[in-house]
Amino acid sequence: MHDVRAIRLDPMAFDQGMARRGLPPVSEAILALDHARREAQTVLQEAQARRKQVAALIGKAKGAGDAAAAESHLAEAEALKDVIAAQTAAESDLAARLNALLAGLPNLPGATTPDGAGEGDNVEVRRWGQLWDNGPRRDHADLGAALGLMDFETAARLAGSRFVVLKGPLARLERALGQFMLDMQTTEHGYTEVSPPLLVRGQALYGTGQLPKFEEDLFHTTDDRWLIPTAEVSLTNLVAGELLDEGVLPLRMTALTPCFRAEAGASGRDTKGMIRQHQFNKVEMVSIVAPERSDEELERMTACAEAILKRLELPFRTMALCTGDLGFSARKTYDLEVWVASQGAYREISSCSNCGDFQARRMEARCRAPGEKGGRFVHTLNGSGLAVGRALVAVMEHYQDEDGAIAIPQALHAYLPGLSRITPAA
């Protein structure tokens, strides 16, 4: 959510920010609504002030037992009633329209976010790891099917397309990956483990920015709840409506949860394999920080995600998303892209974003230093650390051998006692 006063103060800067995202200027429409709303509010408030005075006079007169005096004010009070009703309706209509307009606008890109039109303009920040170059690599779906441990057909019978059934050691490997990531974030990176709700109210999704604009990407339940598309929603909304003592910041939280995405509009993309599913597991990191700390926190968080890939010895590159590829709530984002051998391409496995005060405004999440008056909106960050399903894909493809067996990364040995390779016989 944007601060109207900031837009009022510098509409050009706002339009320029939107333009960097490839969006048309809107400040004029916003300010017109804002102006009309304030005018309506002023008129309303004057009427309310008068009503208050008159009501007090009536109360005073009645208290004094002067029925005639009370009666003399009633006519004006009656008249004010209609004025106030009409003016309230006008004001709230304008406020609702202004709010709807603002709620649908994405965050302004940060100063250090590179400009660009789309994915192709993202900027590589760094690259890590050696790409193997010893012949063609089979993709994880073929490997999994050959092992008899990854079954898309049965999953489709149960649930439809974009679901998978993992079995035996492969299911165990997936579980180990999640555990490993979660343990690293909690024991090495200082994140507090949280086990949050997977179903949330619309309010929570509004807070993080998925609603109202991206309803079609979400699963909605019959009792008007929503399946979380990421634990970012649950974790970030933990501080919704809170006034936090600045001493408790930064709050760093992590969770391993299933994520549910309708993937509307993605038909035809990544239809094979586990890259794009309706349900997948992910370890999420969320940081709640004081406003002046969010830039450094983004670097830190990104490093926490990178550390997982390094430990798994999976080659990756870190991309700074350009303005055209930036998510709705983010002002700056780093994507981690892991090497997917079968595709000969880097694919997103983590996305770490600084949302500034954008989500905090929607959630009403503030902080304040002891003795300070009022409060400031906190800054919120979220990042995957990492997407477990895609990590499984990367491990399978990276650690396969010519016989179709999968070696277990060193980092996971402690989590998989007795399992050093997944072989077709297994």
Partner RNA sequence: GGAGAGGUGGCUGAGCGGUUGAAAGCACCGCACUCGAAAUGCGGCAUACCCGUAAGGGUAUCGGGGGUUCGAAUCCCCCCCUCUCCGCCA
The catalytic residues are 261, 276, 348, 351, 390
In whole angstroms, how close is the CB of 75 to RNA at the nearest point?
9
In whole angstroms, how close is the CB of 39 to RNA at the nearest point?
7
269, burial (CB in 10 Å: exposed 0-12, middle 13-18, buried 19+): exposed
Nearer to RNA, 51 or 317 (CB): 51
Q: Among 70, 118, 179, which Cα is nearest to 413's?
A: 179
In whole angstroms, how close is the CB of 360 to RNA at the nearest point?
12
Nearer to RNA, 38 or 317 (CB): 38
| Cβ atoms 322, 21 nearer than 8 A | no
How far apart are alpha carbons 247 and 256 in whole angstroms?
27
Q: Residue 402 CA to chain centroid, in angstroms?
A: 40
In whole angstroms, how close is the CB of 248 to RNA at the nearest point?
12
Compute the residue count for the chain. Answer: 426
425, burial (CB in 10 Å: exposed 0-12, middle 13-18, buried 19+): exposed
| Cβ atoms 186, 193 nearer than 8 A | yes
How far apart are alpha carbons 119 and 337 in whole angstroms?
12
- Coil/strand/helix, residue 269: coil
Nearer to RNA, 36 or 426 (CB): 36
In terms of DSSP bridges, do strands 243-245 and 366-368 run parallel, antiparallel, or are they unpaired?
parallel
In whole angstroms, how close is the CB of 371 to RNA at the nearest point?
4
In whole angstroms, how close is the CB of 57 to RNA at the nearest point?
8
Nearer to RNA, 64 or 158 (CB): 64
The binding site for RNA (CB under 7 A) comprises: 4-5, 38-39, 41-42, 44-46, 48-49, 51-56, 58-60, 62-63, 74, 77-78, 80-81, 92, 243, 370-371, 373-375
| Helices 27-63, 67-103: inter-axial angle, 10-degree rounding | 160
In whole angstroms, how close is the CB of 45 to RNA at the nearest point?
4
| Cβ atoms 253, 271 nearer than 8 A | no
Which helix (H) or strand (E) segment holds residue 130: the answer is: none
Q: Among 264, 231, 94, which Cα is nearest to 162's?
A: 264
Nearer to RNA, 63 or 268 (CB): 63
Q: Among 21, 18, 106, 2, which Cα is nearest to 325's?
A: 21
Nearer to RNA, 73 or 390 (CB): 73
Terminal alpha carbon distance of the chain? 53
Nearer to RNA, 7 or 256 (CB): 7
